[in-house]
Amino acid sequence: MKQLQVGLEERAYPILIKEGLLSEIGQELKLRPIAKRYIIIADDNVAELFGGHVVESLRNADIPVDLLTFPHGEASKNMATVEKLARSLAQLGVDRQDALIALGGGVTGDITGFLAAIYMRGISFVQVPTSLLAQVDSSVGGKTGVDIPEGKNLVGCFYQPKCVFIDTAVLKDLPREELLNGLAEVVKYGVIYDSDFFHFLVANQKSILDLEPTVVEAVVAHCCTIKARVVEADEREADLRRILNYGHTLGHAVEAASNFTIAHGKAISIGMAAVNTISVKKSLLGADKAQRIKDVLQGFGLPTDIPMDLDRGQMKEFLKTDKKSVNGKPFFVLPIQIGKVIITDDVDDVMIEEAFG
């Protein structure tokens, strides 16, 4: 078992990573009790695949447990789902001695974390991420929230979990497209923070795609370590944490202009390749390094070019209205070498147009 720590003083918490950990969660919670009773929240897919294992694991450890579900997919990440779940918690008599378990992908983690933050003005929660994206990114760092028709993640708060349990074995059930969503974030960490990790990814590409257990465990642990270090330095995204948005500003514009037919991970991959061309144009990054990043993304089966049929004008508009833009000016995370980036809004329209290709 690998054990990491997110060092946030009184909000510090451990991340445990192990193949097969799902069936040991009961024992782990017995060793590090967080609550008297636990309510697992999972989407219908994940509840069917793994809900039973986790319930059984807690029952075997004599811990009272219930399971609540909601329909899978981003469309559920809204206030209506939160209200429905909150009412179910109240009907079950859940109080502040109890805790929630977010069992699932980023959608479940974001909903459950937000619900935990506001139910009875805050109860504890635990993350048990099951998608690669959730294991390497969303389950660590305490960003929670839901979407409203006006925009994604517009309602939410920072609320840290008490513990993160990661069972890498569950990735075997993850659809290919969902694996790609996570892999784009994995490559991101190498480029923004750690060139050794980037080279590890290059050397182990096939084993990662084949989900070789020791390699996958190493990848997940490494990503969580980087995320933890970034969050420790800047919990509320005042500065350093913004590096995690590498490729995301342009990626979100690609995603939106495609009317969400291009999946998140693919859009982020395209976004990373596109901002690299800005870095090269600004003489911040060598063209050979930009090519190496492109090669890794493509090696994982991720796209790197903006499809010709996407409306460039529309993408430009999306960039300006991105919720992280200030006065209509987006910021960009630009690599200056593999493992190091800068954050800047000093990118003119011509460069953006060139990055669109």
Residues making contact with ligand NAD (CB under 6 A): 43, 45-46, 49, 72-74, 77, 104-108, 110, 130-131, 133-134, 137-138, 141, 143, 153, 170-171, 173-174, 178, 181
Radius of gyration of the chain (CA): 20
Q: Which is nearer to ligand NAD, 284 or 343 (CB)?
A: 343
* Nearest distance from C-beta of residue 9 to ligand NAD, angstroms: 20
Q: Which is nearer to ligand NAD, 257 or 347 (CB)?
A: 257
Q: Which residue out of 237, 292, 312, 354 is catalytically annotated?
A: 237
| Catalytic residue flag (residue 237) | yes
| Catalytic residue flag (residue 222) | no
| Catalytic residue flag (residue 252) | yes
Q: Which is nearer to ligand NAD, 105 or 339 (CB)?
A: 105
| Catalytic residue flag (residue 227) | yes
Q: How far apart are CA 56 and CA 25, in angstroms?
A: 10
Contact (Cβ atoms closer than 8 angstroms) between residue 147 and residue 78: yes
Q: Which residue out of 28, 178, 185, 255 is catalytically annotated?
A: 185
* Nearest distance from C-beta of residue 261 to ligand NAD, angstroms: 16
Contact (Cβ atoms closer than 8 angstroms) between residue 188 and residue 248: no
Contact (Cβ atoms closer than 8 angstroms) between residue 1 and residue 21: yes
Structure tokens that stand for 146 in this block:
């839901």
Q: Which is nearer to ligand NAD, 171 or 215 (CB)?
A: 171
* Nearest distance from C-beta of residue 216 to ligand NAD, angstroms: 12
Q: Which is nearer to ligand NAD, 124 or 135 (CB)?
A: 135
* Nearest distance from C-beta of residue 135 to ligand NAD, angstroms: 9
Diameter of the chain measured on Cα atoms: 63
| Catalytic residue flag (residue 185) | yes
| Catalytic residue flag (residue 248) | yes
Q: Which residue out of 72, 227, 266, 294 is catalytically annotated?
A: 227
Report which residue type is found at 344.
T
Q: Which is nearer to ligand NAD, 31 or 238 (CB)?
A: 238
* Nearest distance from C-beta of residue 37 to ligand NAD, angstroms: 24
Q: Which residue out of 162, 188, 241, 294 is catalytically annotated?
A: 241
* Nearest distance from C-beta of residue 226 to ligand NAD, angstroms: 13
Which residues are the active-site residues?
121, 143, 185, 227, 237, 241, 245, 248, 252, 264
